[in-house]
Amino acid sequence: MSFSSLFRKKTVQDILKQVEKNEIDGHSSLGKHLTARDLTAFGIAAIVGAGIFSTIGKASADGGPAVIFLFLFTALACSFAAFAYAEFASMVPVSGSAYTYSYVAFGELIAWVIGWALIMEYAIGNITVAISWSDYFTGLLESGGLHLPQWIQMDYLTASNGYTEATALMQGGKTFANLDAGLQDAYTAWTTSPVIGSFHLVTDIPALFIIVLITALVYRGMKESRNASNLMVVVKLCVILLVIAVGVFYVDTANWDPFAPNGVNGVLKGVSAVFFAYIGFDAISTTAEECKNPQRDLPRGMMWAIIICTILYIAIALVLTGMVKYNSLNVGDPLAFVFDKLDLKWMSGIIAVSAVVAMASVLLVFQMGQPRIWMSMSRDGLLPQKFSRVHPRFKTPSFATIVTGFVVAIPALFLNLTMVTDLCSIGTLFAFVLVCAGVLVLQNKPNIPRGKFKTPYINSKYIIPVLLLAGIAYSFTYNKKNTMDFITNVPQINSPASIVTSLSKTETEEVYKFLVENHKERVFNKTTDLEQILSDFQENEAEYVSVVESLPIDKSLKYETGFALFKHKIPMWIFLTVLVGLAIWAFRQNLSLIPLLGLICCLYMMAELSVWNWIYFFVWLLIGLAIYFGYSRKHSKLNFIKEN
């Protein structure tokens, strides 16, 4: 096979002919039940879930009330991407979503890569939501007096990592009672779990339960899934509006000062959590074949879902940060937490119930999306034919739905929330980047049939280069110090927790003894908690730097330097390099502004994720490429057509 065969493309005409043929003969066709209202409800069901009931707390703690600007930025980026999705969905109204769109724009290899990446959005995203659902569900049971053992309500990695960190902190003088609640639970789960050999049996059973239940519902049919989704959306919207209506009377505007306590960096620190709160609107595009009028209703459903959810997110963020101080919101259940703190326990109970419902609706939408991606890939020969099997009675991709259930359920027992949230975000952002790029690639091709919806054209020839030059000017004038620190790789001092958890027992004792001897008035008889002692010094940045510099430990434990620091900047350097290339491309090709801004915004959010997410994502793509070259390339129907 030639190199060019890797980028063989499907035409829009051929895709539409195949869909028409399927509908005529009834083979592999899905039932058409969805309207614009249903699609909007699916979008809200997918977006309003773990983000608003869980990750919004961490983002608010990092950015303060100014986190609303991050919601606006993320909503804008998603809206740009939604325009691109809507244009493709109108052009190619089939179930493949970004996978099918990439097959048309870039060719088979890129289509496979994006289809493989989408597993990180739908399947791994559902692992995240299942874990969050489990946290709320077990919390609800505990409030009702039913206490499950910790080792059957927590994943293996969280328990293992939490035990290690808790042990290190207690070694540094912190008592068990003073550990964070999450670390206490992890330590308890690890130490009380059954042990088989050296393996600790820690599994998240409630997460497994909800995945099995939702998978069964999705298998049963689209009409049943739609009805369940619509009901759950009504419930959670009523509760969110109740939270806003009640919470606004407890807002203290003094809590909004300072509005951006940690500056721009603090706001952007929550980009992964906030973006995770928005993913899911694109899952609407996987239902294209089940829409009554996809070319009209898909764009409407996406846009309305994003608009409604953005308004809700901003209102909730302002209410939360107004009710309590922003730095107390770093909890897993921020909505219930603020009302519990204000002794409104009846509201906490309502929120806990609605969170269980809300996250179940997210699971429902994502669990629908993944099988339909696999079905489309199977139709093209890139996956075994079983994945395109449609149930004769329920009209759903039956085999693919069952496999999705296993793919989500098994890792949910072992993976932790932070890891899967970030993996889900980077997979989704990568899909968004390619869909936006696909619209740019096809914009000047006259032989492509256009749907009823087309992204408004604004020439970016001069806009993007001018914005790039303005950004460079700002960086070297108003933000010169941070820019030069970034370029010259200036060493960064470690946090108290990082220092303490990296020390051996002997080093911990030496550091404590040194602080007692040299800072007796600040340390003596106050506490033996080394992390707390260093945190007290951290209140004065200059003093903290001076104290850490004087500690009798190796410099590598005090600072992050050299390549260990530079590696975290690699994603941002990739973004900056690509940005220059995009500015040149825009100038030479008169690119459309909206999809180009979507591409830039999504790529920037990818750059804000840690280098480890990029490494895990790269490894994931390598596994996908091995499958493509081992099976998919030679079984592709385009390859069969060429040979015949």
Percentage of the chain surpassing pLDDT 90? 7
Mean pLDDT within 617-635 = 88
Q: How confident is the model at residue 276 (pLDDT cuts 50, 70, 90)?
A: low
Of 460, 466, 469, 435, nearest to 593 by C-alpha is 460
Whether residue 500 contacts residue 172, with contact meaning beta carbons closer than 8 Å, is answered with yes
Whether residue 593 contacts residue 458, with contact meaning beta carbons closer than 8 Å, is answered with yes
Domain borders along the chain are 33-144+207-439+592-639, 156-201, 460-491+561-591, 494-559
Q: Could you count the other beta carbons within 10 Å of the beta carbon of residue 313?
A: 27
| Cα radius of gyration (the chain) | 26
Of 537, 237, 334, 575, nearest to 433 by C-alpha is 575
* Average per-residue pLDDT for the chain: 80
Whether residue 282 contacts residue 85, with contact meaning beta carbons closer than 8 Å, is answered with yes
CA 615 to mean position of chain CA atoms: 16
The pLDDT tens digits of the residues spanning 216-245 come to 888 876 677 777 777 877 887 888 888 888
Whether residue 186 contacts residue 154, with contact meaning beta carbons closer than 8 Å, is answered with yes
CA distance 136 to 140: 6
In this structure, CATH architecture of domain 33-144+207-439+592-639: Up-down Bundle (1.20)
The pLDDT of residue 466 is: 93
CA distance 384 to 399: 11
Global pTM?
A: 0.78
Q: How confident is the model at residue 22 (pLDDT cuts 50, 70, 90)?
A: low
The pLDDT of residue 310 is: 85
The pLDDT of residue 27 is: 47
- Both tokens of residue 182? 């999450």
Query: Any idea what DSSP says for residue 500?
Result: H
Residue 89 has pLDDT above 50, yes or no: yes
Of 91, 61, 117, nearest to 449 by C-alpha is 91
Tokens 């690890």, residue? 190
The pLDDT of residue 468 is: 92
Q: How far is CA 368 from CA 345, 399, 404, 483, in A?
A: 35, 12, 9, 44
- Among 137-141, 173-177, 311-315, 633-637, the minimum mean pLDDT is found in 173-177
The pLDDT tens digits of the residues spanning 541-576 come to 788 888 888 888 888 888 888 888 888 889 999 999
The pLDDT tens digits of the residues spanning 65-79 come to 888 888 888 888 888
Q: How confident is the model at residue 526 (pLDDT cuts 50, 70, 90)?
A: low
Mean pLDDT within 507-524 = 77
Residue 29 has pLDDT above 70, yes or no: no
Q: What is the DSSP string of 321-376?
A: HHHS-GGG--SS-HHHHHHHHTT-HHHHHHHHHHHHHHHHHHHHHHHHHHHHHHHH
Q: Is 560 helix (H, G, I), strand (E, B) or coil?
A: strand
Q: What is the DSSP string of 378-433?
A: HHTTSS-GGGG-B-TTT-SBHHHHHHHHHHHHHHHTT--HHHHHHHHHHHHHHHHH
The pLDDT of residue 60 is: 82
**Most confidently modeled range among 134-148, 275-289, 525-539:** 134-148
Q: How confident is the model at residue 291 (pLDDT cuts 50, 70, 90)?
A: confident
Residue 458 has pLDDT above 50, yes or no: yes
